Amino acid sequence: MDSFEAATQFSQILRALTPALPNLVRAAHFALKYSESEDYLFPSIVDILHDKNIEINTKSTIFQFIEVLVNESFYFSKQPKYNYPYIQSIKEALPQMILCVLPGTNNANIHNVYASLKSITKHFKIECTSYIEEFDSDLLHEQDLESLEKDLPFPDVNLEDELEFVDPLVSAWKLLVRKKRQSQYERVRLLKHNEVINKEITEDDVFNIKEKTDRAPDRLSKRQILARMEDDREGHKRSKETLWLVNRPVNSTYITEDEFLSHYWNKYNALTPEDDKAFLSSLEELNALVGDSYKDKQF
Amino acid sequence: MSDRYRPPPPPPKKSNRDYQKSSGSGLAAASSSGPYRSSFGGDPYKPSGRRRPDVYRPRNDTYTPGQSGSRPDYRDSEYRGDEDGGASIGSKRSFVGTPSGPRGNRKKNKKAPDGERRRGDFRGGRAGRGDLRGGRGGRGDLRGGPNSNSSKIPHASSGTPNNESLTRNQLYAIQVIRSSRIYQRVQQVGEGTYGRVYKAKNTITGEYVALKKLRLESEREGFPITAMREIKLLQSFDHENIVGLLEMMVEHNQIYMIFDYLDHDLTGLLTHPDLVLEESHRKYIFKQLMEGLNYLHKKRVIHRDIKGSNILLNSTGGLKIADFGLARTMKIVNDGESPDYTNRVITIWYRPPELLLGATDYGREVDIWGVGCLLIELYSKVAAFQGFDEVGQLCKIYNVMGTPTLEEWPNIQNLPWFEMLKPKVNTASKFEEKYKSIMSPDSYDLALKLLALNPSERLSAEEALEHDYFKNEPQPEPLMFLKDVEGEWHEFETKQRRRQERKRLHDEARANKSTAPRTQEQVGTDQIDRVTTITKSVSEVTADDGADTLPGSTTSIAPPSLTSVPKSVPESEATQDI
């Protein structure tokens, strides 16, 4: 297969991608198999994310695929044959991709993007923990509160907002946090400025559901929402399938001492100073009790 | 070494060998109530007590009173030794013949020329196993003494030397074929993804039980782990408001769980057209429900399928929580870790908003939402939120409880699907206008607190039991009148009756259609009224001669009127997290 054919086929695979993990892995392996044609294959990923006719459920799947691709690429690169294919291009394009997966004010994919980006970040030696922690906190600035009073919409999140000379991964995180802030802002704005309805409402009244006539790909129909929930649940279930994996030498059927130790070491926290004190004092008490039980003085 | 037999016990009293008497129901199952259980648990052996039926003993073993009495310590240690079956690594004891485990001994047995040698071998294997448990020194001393093992051997084995195969009383478990069934099935009372539930009569005791038949056909990977989890949980419960697992039964490659049988379930009972509940009765039911739930939550168990059809009631209103097919114990997590449970739990009508929005780090609060729904149901008789899917369910909840405000639930925005199902309007709570008039002030207040949208604001089961609802008059009172209620009221039967009605309606409508095609449109509504009145009169008739009919047989059950019945409850989801 020449590069062009590979790119065409890859594009087809991506358009029909479902979020089941085996499918994602298969697509990633395809990309890695033709990694010498990276210059042809990578643009098809970007093209699909930019395609206005692709529904945002698929875009979320593509972002999950990117996570898998990064993982697999790092894994493959343990062999000398591979030299971290796609990694650099993906990293450079991350901020752009995030904006494609979270278009306009529709942040339906934000949780999945957050989870994927968190997993991608683990491979790079770039400090992003502050963003990860920040993500679930109250992000509204004082300035936001002022604009909220005036009932102004949140300014559009653009790529240019974060074009300082930082690592693309960091600006990806900054954009994502900004997106989350946008979402929080819009929720508060709605609660603050919209009237409270006191009559019976339908699903279409409450939620942002795409109607049948509506062609906008950025909104989800009810069917798509339900499908997405099911996909997320399935993915969640799959993610647990590797929980039982252990790190054990080949051909060893026994639990090693190290494994046993690290299991229990990780399972329990260090005692707090108070607990430690309580433990030692009750141990002392016990020792004294035992000591007293001897007829003769011990020690 | 196979589990089918165990090494020899100390010399027992021959007259007490009654393996057959002790095998509980007589089926090839370990009865949880019979002596089998105590022998499984490895209770310390008491010389005066009943003999364990499940230990291997060579046929030629004879008993000498004097000897037995003089070796209490030895016997005790022997006994403990054989509890830890499985360990079969060789013994280092010098006085016994072989250093290898029991299997090796058995092979040698065949070659051994005399009984004495054989006996010694056998003991040797056992001694080795006992030794693995430690405490070797003390026991070794005992054995080396005048009352030791070796001194006894010549006497013990001087009987018959031929000892090639096991006799019946040496077997650890025996399949006994009975000519009659222990449990006589009466009728089906439930069905779900797990399998079916039948009402059955124990022909020995005459008691009714519920047989839950596990669905195994679809299981290619052996015994379902979800059933394992359910059994394990059920075994750990001991509370009057939690259904009791009486025993497990294996029959024709089918596995049954056997439970207490209760005549009604809450959903079924509430569909009874003539049921009138007083405040004291509702309190009685709800108090028991909260007591049961509090017990579970104290034990760190989340039920995860609270709904009316899983709340069983007996003929005086005594309540038991059933169906632990989705239940699990809570993980112990460190700070900042998520327990990461599946959110594909709880039948959708009783599913709390956080699960509808994809939470995986929930806790006991998910059960509290369910009982809150049931409290309303005790008054309104219909489920409070009857959505068809997740989207519809959340819409129903927002319609009644209002959309969550910032103060009520600030963290809702961190739930995975919040952005996907973000409300675009604000709605007010209509809870007061809907329920204040039909509930008492106390119950209304309690329901409001149990149904807080924000899970962290919901009362815990313990707090709920402290609520004024249970303190103020009237006090809870048993539902004695239920004894007079005809038939048994389970959701399953209610559904079945409704299905039959619908079918009849359909058939009649079709018949009408063929005769008078033009009036087709009117048939639907007219027909419902007619059939309702017909079935009512039928129920009155059957209620009179109900004494003759079997309790629980479908003919004696009064069909509820179609109009008073809620839509059928969707089945609970089956899949569990691993």
* Residue A46 to chain B, least CA–CA distance (Å): 24
Task: Return the residue in B398, B407, B422 with the most chain A beta carbons within 10 A, the one to mutate for interface testing.
Answer: B422
Facing residues of B248 across strands? Answer: B257
Query: Could you say which architecture CATH assigns to the domain B183-260?
Result: 2-Layer Sandwich (3.30)
Q: Is the pTM of this model over 0.80?
A: no
Residues lower than pLDDT 50 in chain B: 1-160, 517-578
* Chain B residues lying within 8 Å of A107, measured CB to CB: 419
**Domain locations in chain B?**
14-170, 183-260, 264-484, 491-564
Query: Which tokens in the block code for residue B482?
Result: 């239920």
* Chain B residues lying within 8 Å of A233, measured CB to CB: 342-344
Task: State whether residue A205 sits within 8 Å of chain B by CB.
Answer: yes
Task: State whether residue A17 sits within 8 Å of chain B by CB.
Answer: no
Phi and psi torsions of B190, nearest 5°: -170, 160
Query: Is A275 among the domain residues?
Result: no
Least CA distance to B416: which residue of chain A?
Answer: A111
Give residue for tokens 């699990």: B328
How far lies A25's CA from each of A31, A57, A234, B125, in Å? 10, 18, 15, 53
Query: Is A277 among the domain residues?
Result: no
Three-point CA angle B340, A176, B390, nearest 5°: 45
Q: For residue B238, how far is the Cα from the chain centroid?
A: 11
Number of domains in chain A: 1
Given this model, what pLDDT does residue B559 score? 38
Question: Cβ A225–B423 below 8 Å, yes or no?
Answer: no
ipTM entry: 0.85
How many of the other CB atoms lie within 10 Å of CB of A204? 14
3-state SS record for B478-509 = CCHHHHHCCCCCCHHHHHHHHHHHHHHHHHHH
Q: Which of B391, B414, B425 sits opposite A197 (nearest CB)?
A: B425
Q: Cβ contacts of residue A169 below 8 Å, gap of 6+?
A: A91, A94, A120, A121, A124, A126, A128
Question: Cβ A194–B420 below 8 Å, yes or no?
Answer: no
Q: Cα separation of B171 and B329, whole Å?
A: 37
The candidate with the shortest Cα–Cα distance to B399, out of B387, B389, B407, is: B387
Given this model, what pLDDT does residue B429 score? 93
Q: Cα separation of B423 and A275, whole Å?
A: 46
CB B52 within 8 A of CB B19: no
Question: Cβ A111–B419 below 8 Å, yes or no?
Answer: yes
- Using 50, 70 and 90 to split pLDDT, how confident is the model at A208? confident
Facing residues of B202 across strands? Answer: B183
Query: Is A93 among the domain residues?
Result: yes
The candidate with the shortest Cα–Cα distance to B212, out of B221, B222, B199, is: B199
Domain of residue A115, residue span: 3-219
Phi and psi torsions of B158, nearest 5°: -75, -5
How many of the other CB atoms lie within 10 Å of CB of B147? 16
Query: Which tokens in the block code for residue A150?
Result: 């005036």
* Chain B residues lying within 8 Å of A206, measured CB to CB: 394-395, 398, 403, 423-425, 427
Packing angle, helices B115-131 and B102-111, rounded to 10: 180
Query: Is A271 among the domain residues?
Result: no
Question: Cβ A207–B391 below 8 Å, yes or no?
Answer: yes
Query: Is A126 among the domain residues?
Result: yes
Q: For residue A230, how far is the Cα from the chain centroid?
A: 17
Quick one: fold of B264-484? Answer: Transferase(Phosphotransferase); domain 1 (1.10.510)
Question: Cβ A202–B395 below 8 Å, yes or no?
Answer: yes
Three-point CA angle B421, A56, A207, nearest 5°: 20
Sign, CA dihedral A104-A108-A110-A112, equals: negative
CB B3 within 8 A of CB B172: yes
Given this model, what pLDDT does residue B159 score? 45
Question: Cβ A206–B389 below 8 Å, yes or no?
Answer: no
Given this model, what pLDDT does residue A255 score? 80
Question: Cβ A225–B421 below 8 Å, yes or no?
Answer: yes
**Annotated active-site positions of B, please?**
305
Q: Cα separation of B181 and B174, whole Å?
A: 17
User: By a Cβ cutoff of 8 Å, what residues of chain B touch chain A?
Assistant: 334-335, 340, 342-344, 358, 360, 389-392, 394-395, 398-399, 402-403, 405-406, 410, 413-414, 416-417, 419-428, 430, 575, 577-578
The candidate with the shortest Cα–Cα distance to A37, out of A1, A75, A84, is: A1
Given this model, what pLDDT does residue A26 score? 93
Query: Is A188 among the domain residues?
Result: yes
Q: Provide the Cα torsion B96, B97, B102, B107; round to 10°.
A: -160
Q: Cβ contacts of residue B399 below 8 Å, gap of 6+?
A: A200, A201, B427, B430
* Residue A80 to chain B, least CA–CA distance (Å): 37
Query: Is A291 among the domain residues?
Result: no
User: With pLDDT > 70 as the criterion, what percentage of chain A qualifies?
Assistant: 97
